[in-house]
Amino acid sequence: MDDDKSWWYCLRHNEVEQGPGCPGKDRLGPYPTREAAENWRETVQRRNEEWDEQDRWPGESGGG
């Protein structure tokens, strides 16, 4: 993905950035669109839930 056209969410400034900006350690992304970067929380939550499901043993239920 071309960094000059990618969208990022800056955790330091709490705003969306496009292209080069703050250091990678302060940003989430890249995202394909501004809207995707603005909705970073939903993406992070969905991915965390997917990863939690992958980490469970067969037959193990969620919740703890």
- With respect to residue 36, please indicate whether it lies within any of the assigned structural domains: yes
What is the number of domains present in the chain? 1
Buried b (16+ CB within 10 A) or exposed e, 9-47: bbeeeeebbbeebeeeeebebbbeeeebbeebeeeeeee
pLDDT tens per residue across span 5-57:
899 999 999 999 998 889 999 999 999 999 999 999 999 899 899 988 887 77
Would you say the pTM of this structure is higher than 0.85?
no
- According to DSSP, the residues that pair with 28 across neighbouring strands are 9
Percent of the chain with pLDDT over 70: 83
* Owning domain of residue 37: 7-55
Q: What is each CA distance from 9 to 33, 35, 45, 51, 54, in whole angstroms?
A: 11, 10, 15, 21, 26
SS3 59: coil
